Amino acid sequence: MVDKPLFTPGPLTTSRTVKAAMSRDLGSRDTEFIRVIRDLRNSLLQLAGVSQADGWEAVLMQGSGTFSIESVISSITPPDGKWLVIINGAYGERILKIIERHGIAAEAIRSAENELPDLVAIEAALGGEEFTHVAVVHCETTSGIMNPIAEIGALAKEHGCVYFVDSMSAFGGVQFDFAGSQLDCLVSSANKCVQGVPGFGFAICRRELLDATEDHARTISLDLTAQWRGLEGNGQFRFTPPTHTLLAFAQALRELDEEGGIAARAARYRANHDVCVAGMRAMGFTEFVPENLQGQIITSFLYPTDDFDFDEFYNRLNEKGFVIYPGKVTKANCFRIGHIGHLFPADTDALLTAIRAVAAEMNLSLSPKPA
């Protein structure tokens, strides 16, 4: 059985060896399994370039990435806390929705989905000194835009705020200075750039943040501090852990290291991106996000014509063995092609060949641009 390559933002294509690592049954209290958890937490800190000795903790949380975001927000916010959420896409909106669902005070600063956040407006908002927390999405997977997390972090710190970054689709596949970005807490998940399979997310956060918010959790299952205390205490999850996913993730971390770490992985994703964008432009497609704001994670392409039938395009590509992704931006009709996962420029070339064939079958009226 051959799986189709997934040009999606996750779950994504994983290596054969990552999948094979799951074909074991380990008990959740098994000493070998507890060792896997401990090593995995240390590896995540290393990947971020921080350590427990410097006051950092990696906390694993069952569920998809959103569960980890909700865990952080509902656990670290004191009753009188107030968030400033920087939004230029659906995942920023989701952060705000989670905050509001917990009855926590928040305001948003929005910019267009293909524009960077307005740093002047953020500075002005923080100047009022009413906010305690600032949140932003790193790579807004809605469009593929990369947000300036270091610049926003500097503003958050200037005004004494706790700084949270949703780096779900970027961590492990984008080089950045973790400590230099003034982060207090970052969240990502197993099935993104580390190239594991779905089942848990993780928060990398300052220990003092966990200590200071001991009593603030608004839920039992998503209590980040209790989860951390459990992992530190007996090395175990409080509730049933995703054992197989954790084994796959341990293998995925080894493979990330063997590839040459984040720098090498980011370069491969960039090569996938560059091949894809050059090929799509040559066919006559246009990106939604300006070139200088694009990351290497995922690209949104505008529908080539008003009557473009995305479902037919998707299904024809699917029949040829390729999986792409629908659009998510609200102000333009787009579809998306992901560059992450166990995919290489040759896979992207094969996708482009299939897109050329589908474009001909559908008689798409495209205006190729010169390289």
Ligand X SMILES: Cc1ncc(COP(=O)(O)O)c(C=O)c1O
Distance CA 205, CA 72 (A): 9
Query: Which residue, 166 or 184, is less far from ligand X as judged by CB?
Result: 166
Query: Which residue, 5 or 92, is less far from ligand X as judged by CB?
Result: 92
The three-class DSSP label of residue 181 is helix
Q: Do 317 and 358 meet the contact criterion of CB atoms below 8 Å apart?
A: yes
| Closest approach of ligand X to the CB of residue 71, in Å | 12
Q: List residues binding ligand X (CB under 6 A).
A: 9-10, 64-66, 91, 137, 141, 166, 168-169, 189
Start-to-end Cα distance in the chain: 38
Amino acid in the structure at residue 142: T
| Closest approach of ligand X to the CB of residue 153, in Å | 17
| Closest approach of ligand X to the CB of residue 307, in Å | 29
Query: Which residue, 75 or 141, is less far from ligand X as judged by CB?
Result: 141
Choose among 184, 188, 154: nearest CA to 77.
184
Query: Which residue, 189 or 294, is less far from ligand X as judged by CB?
Result: 189
Choose among 8, 46, 19: nearest CA to 196.
19
| Closest approach of ligand X to the CB of residue 270, in Å | 18
| Closest approach of ligand X to the CB of residue 1, in Å | 25
DSSP conformation class of 6: B
Query: Which residue, 22 or 165, is less far from ligand X as judged by CB?
Result: 165
Query: Which residue, 33 or 200, is less far from ligand X as judged by CB?
Result: 200
Burial class from Cβ neighbours inside 10 Å (0-12, 13-18, 19+) for residue 157 reads middle
The three-class DSSP label of residue 138 is coil
Residue 218: how many other CB atoms lie within 10 Å: 16
| Closest approach of ligand X to the CB of residue 371, in Å | 30
